[in-house]
Structure formats: structure tokens, C-alpha cells
Structure 1
Amino acid sequence: MSSYCYYYLSGYPGESFSSPNAFLLQQCSGSSGSGVASTDWTFGDIKDSFPVKEGEYYFRFRQSDGGGGFNWIDVRQDDYNAKVPKFQGCVFAKVLRLDKLPRLTPTKMRLNAKKARQKQQRNTSPPPQQQQHHQQQQQQQQQRSPQQHNPPPQKWADEVVQKTEASPPPPRAPSPPPVPLSRVEKLQLEYKKKQEKQEKVWDDVDQRWVVVGDKRDRSRSPKRETTPITADLLGGTPPKQPNTTSAPPAQNAATNSKTLGVSLSASNAVGKSANVAAAVHARVQEMEDAQEKAVKELRDREKQKVKDAEEMDEVRARLEPKIKEWSEEYGKKRQLRALLSSLDKVLWPESSWKPINLGDILDSKKARRAYLKASLKVHPDKTKNLLPDQKFIATGVFDALSQANAEFEAKGGM
């Protein structure tokens, strides 16, 4: 019987259990009559089939804990007949080389020190414009310093004044170039200047202030005659026309503002005929019912939003640790093949997802096909009508698979 053993060298750059090495176990020593079952592998089988022969190595093996997780266990390195535990039908090993422990090379140490110096320099050095402005200020202070801190004696004051009047003034330091304005700032500046130049006049017809030359100035066009609904439909005297001889005083400006919309109440039926009064009451009742219905629908929507938010918080607190345990290993994101091989551990039982063996997706093409199949299973368009728990799991699985696939493609399918 043959199988695969997956391993990685602990501490070496580029080695990770999410993308392990593998070698084929040719035969099982249990079939030779040693008392071990023919489906089990011994530590001697691993040592004999291990491809790297030089050096001294220490082996640890992955074993299932019975709850969907795993533990790393040690075996006696001198007991060649000790059984090796299996996980998902294969042997998973973590190997540490004892005679040559991994360490940082001098080149790697120099690169790390160089990056640290560059980062510190970027954080401490000011921008070029501020540095240039600071130098110009220092030059101006140096030019003014002799006159400010070294005043001439009183007896030589006249000579100093004559020399100062005869000599030309010292050259001024060049001023910093103006900062160019963006397009939005230019438009804002032009609009502000235009508002300052506008002239407003009082419109007696519309009872409002109008900008001269404004296209919305309706005082220059014939005003459309409108009749209030109370005078046309319900009868009664038309409203009084505003006084057009003089502008209103400033204290009455609030009372002259135009009211938008139509105000309809039961008081409009006073003094009307029976038919008109009945129509007014029916219309008022219809408006009140519509208003109550709209308020009730708004409150129901707000209550449903609060209920959905509380339900989602409860689902997140309960299922987020499960998603994190599946998608991460020791605080690092797991790679695509590892996520696909353990996808059945995180999906809900009704998803009808068939487990995938890690050895079946070592090929890049097979891994891509498995990813497409899994992404279709948990795509947001496919999980709209699921339960909140299932929808939360599908969203977390889809995000983790998308990130792992992006890294997978960036490495060329490795």
C-alpha cells in the first residue's frame, strides 16, 4: 500500500505548511509481520522514505483531536516501530534540522537595517517645500541680524544714516512661488466674487428678493394666474392681493415668506353646502389615514432594522471564531489548497458539499476548478434566501477564498 507524506522544514524561508512538500511512501512495514496493521505507517517507514538523507532531523506529526482540529505530537526518534498518526488519510510532518539551525544571513540583516534607516528618514525629514521655506526664513534673519543686534554707537549715528541713505537697499530674498489653485477652488472663488457683485431688488408681486439679471427672475415675464384651492373648489372670497406700492418692513419679512404646498383641514367646510362639506371631510380623512399609514410603515421599518442588526450581532459573536479558526493558522492566513481541503468543516450540513482531499488538488488546474466550484456554492447571489447563520458563514467563506485565490494567482499557481 502506498500513500503520501506531506512535510515542511521549520524555520526555513519559503517553507510553510499551507504549501508543503510531499514524498511517496512506497510500502508499509506492517505487512511484513511486525504486528502493525497493514494500513498504518511506522516511524521507520518515514525515515527510510524521507528524500533528504544528509543531516540530522527531528520529526513531529499531526493528529486529529476528534473535534475538527488537530494537535502536533512527538514520537521516539529511536523507535522505528512506533505508529505514525494520520490526518485526513495522509501523514503530515513538521521537520526540524538539528545539525544546521536556520539563521539570518548577513545579506538579509543588511537589507533589514537599510529598510529601517529609510523608514526613519522618511518619518523625520520635512517635505521639500517646507525645507525650502525654512532656508529662506534663515537667510532673511541673517540679513536683518546685523542691524537689529549690533546698533551703531550714538556718536557715529549721523555717519551711519548718511551711508544708509547713499547706499542702495539690500536685495530682498525671493518670495516662495504661489501655490496653484485647483479647479474646484477656482470655481468657488469665481462664485464668491459673482455673489458680491450681484444686486438684489424687492419683487412686489412674488413678495421676495430677486437678483437682477437672474434667469429665475419671474418679474420680467408675465406671471401665471393661479387660483387657490379654497376659492376655486370650495367657494368663498379670494385672498387679498398684496400691497405693491411699497416694500414690506424688515420686521415683517418672516410673515411675507411664501408657503409651499396646499393646506386642507375640516375648517374649510364651514359655511359650505352639504356636498362640498362632505367632500372636504372625506378628503381630510383620506389624508389623515394616508399619513398614519406612512408613519406606521416607517416605524415598522426602523424596528425591523434594529431587529436585524441585533440578530446579526448575535450571529457574528457565535460564528466569527469558527470562520477565523478555519481561515487562519497561528495568526496567518491559510493558502487556497488548505482552505479547500477543509471546507467541509466550516460549511453547514445542508450545503451538500463533498470533501476534497489535499492530494487531489496539488495540481494547479485542479485547484482552480475546485475554487470555482466552491465560490459558486457560497456566492452572495446564491445565498440571498438562506438563514442568517448560513448567510454569515457563506459571506466569510467567500471572502477568505477570494483573498487566498488572489495570492494563489499572484504566485503563479504555486
Structure 2
Amino acid sequence: MNNVLSRYIAENINGDMNLSENDMINYNIKKFNETIEQSKKSDFYSKKLKDIKNIKYLKAIENIPFTSEDEIRENYKKMLCVSIGDVERIVHINTSGSTGKSKTIFFSKKDLEYTVNFFRYGLSQFSEKNDKMLILMPFKNENSVGDLVAKAVCQYGVKPLKYGIVKNFDHALESLKISDSIVGDPVQIQALARYMKFHNINIKLKGILTSSDFILKKTVLEIEDAFQCKVYNHYGLTETAYGGAVECDCHSGMHPRENDIYLEIIDPFTGKIVKDGDFGEIVITTFNREAMPLIRYKTGDRGRFLKKRCACSMNLKCLDYISGRIKREKDRFNIYKMDELIFADKTVLDYKFEASADSADISLITFSPESINKNDIEKIIRQNFITDNLNINIKTFLPDKINYSEFHNGKRKIHNI
């Protein structure tokens, strides 16, 4: 069952649908060499990769050194491969799940055009001409992720409803009622689903794409039940120019954007590639990038390739749902585990977590503050995280008594005060 997404990826690799394993190997070797050549236009990679010559077989990739988050933070200006006049967009980002010194990523116009093409084919799986798509993503700047989604769907006749981050649930529902589909943050969409259920509101959609944040499989099922449609999960990073991997109509895992990105799963401690089916750290190399190509960049995200190929019949890999961040010794809390604990209570729409050296403040948006057992929440947190000598403070807010855009204004993090 070939679908529009897998056809797009395959045709951009070898020009037709007959994509063999050898085709993939030859394409990846070719693109790795092109990317190494482009990256050496920067001061950073010209030094880091000075001993790396053209690779002749895929196994040789393992001899190429990794690029770390800290290297981007400290050397981003030296990683630029084009003149500053050719930079279309500059993005400063923090790591998902925590706060700290930001990373800076550069994009050229062509870099962003590749992303728009990927978005177009991924989103067209559940939307068609004359549909209206509600985009619950940032629109603050031109070529922000919401703007790129809007550009993508306009190419095939879908009208984008440029909403942005949810500010108020009732206000967002007015736009949702005239929409055929949604693209947005999974936690905000889950919050809307719970808000609708509480108020006995029924809205049926054609499809939903979740992106920008980690998603629990329980959340997918809850959203599908609320909106009576399938959820297409997407994994992307700013470092990949937002587009990374997305589910096709078969929903057998996410197809990496293999024409533009090479993914590896490594043991985070040894750096060795793990076999399909085993979890490890996701490593990316960005093909076809002009401004700031990244080579073997360690994302810090935990994932795995599925052993079984997708029913869409393409010779493309499938990435399982991202299962959190790779645990570091310095990490006291994990936002992904926190999701499992807190969202188990379906009266909770969202939460914010702020931690300091001696305290942790948890703010919950809930329909039923009186039903929240703060002692139970504190007990669960102490059972699952390192909380020695830590004061845990829990506050609750009704959804109509809070400005949600201030509470949740993008990818969620544990805020270290």
C-alpha cells in the first residue's frame, strides 16, 4: 500500500518507487560525502573533520566524530557555511525537558523549502483541497514552524487557520468548530479534548498531527477517541529544520525524512550503533542543508527503529514513538515520566514544573481542584525522583481562571530556578 508520504521520500531518493536496500546505501554514502564537503566550508567542521575523507562504505560513518549540544552552544557562529546575508532564519532554542544555555541554529531559504515540501506531503495524508486546518503552533516570526505549516498546506488548497498557541479554551474551541483537522502540540490538543469532554462538546475531525513535544501512547488514544479520527505523530527538532519523521496512513511507526536526514540509534555510553528494536540515543545527520549542516549530532532523545517494516511496502525505516530523553547523571527530574504520573488524572489539563535547589513548585490546571490529592502527588513524585530534602509545593488552577498562553507557551520544560 504505497501512500503519498512514502512515495515522496522514495522518489526524492532514486526518482521512482522501486527503492531497494542498495539504493538506500548508495544514496546515504553519496549524501554523507556531499554533507561533509559542505560542512567543511565552516571553521568548526573544517577542523573537526580535517582527517575525514570521502567515505566509500556505510560502516565508515562510525569513524566520524559526533557533534554535541555543547559544541553547538559554544561554536554556532563557526558552524555557519554561508554568508550571513544568505541566512533566512536564526533560531535560539533550549533543550526539551529542561532549561539552560540556548543553542543557535541557522537556516537558508533553501533549507526551509525542503521542510515545507516534507510538511506538504505529510499533512496531505489527512487533508485535501478546500479543507480548513487549525494550526496550534507559533506564528510570531516569519518562517516559524507554524508559518511553514501554513505555507505547506496552501500549496494544495487547504486554508490554514493561523491560531498559534492556545490562549483560552473557549476561544480555541470556536476556531476548532469550523476546522477539518488540527496540527499542534499534543498536550494542548489533549487539554482541548478533556475540556470538550467535561463540557459535553462533540467535534469530529478528519485527522490530527501532533508535533513539538513528547507524546504518550495513552494520549494518542485519548485524542483519537475525543475527535473520532486518527492521530499522525511527528518527531522533529529545530536542528532538523523542524521536519524529522512522521507516521503514514498505516500508523506502523514514523517514517524518517530519509531523503534529507540520516538517523542512527546509538548506545549513549559506548557510542556504538545498536540493532533495530533496541532503544538508544537518536543521532542525526542533516543532508541537503546549506547554512548549518549537522553531522552525527547527538540529540539526547531516546528512541529506536522498529524491526518490522511498514505495510506501505517501501524499503523505509520506521521510528518508534520517542520515549523521552537520555538520562544524565545530573538530571533530578524527567518531564516524560512526570507526564505519565500527572496526566493519569484526567481532570488535569496541563501542568508547569519549576525546580530549585531546595524546592519544587507544581502548578496544575484542573476542573476539580478539590479532587486533587496533593499528598498522593507528592508521594508519587518522591517515589520516582531524587527529592532528598526537597520541599514540594502544589497549586491548582481552574481553566477559566488562568491565562493559558502564559502557562503553556511552547515546548514544555522543567524550569530550573
TM over 0.5: no
Highest relative contact order (Cα 8 Å, sep 6+), 1 or 2?
Answer: 2
TM-score band, normalised by shorter chain: under 0.3
Name which one, 1 or 2, has greater alpha-carbon Rg.
Answer: 1
Normalized per residue, the structure richer in helix is: 1
TM-score with structure 1 setting the length: 0.18
Normalized per residue, the structure richer in strand is: 2
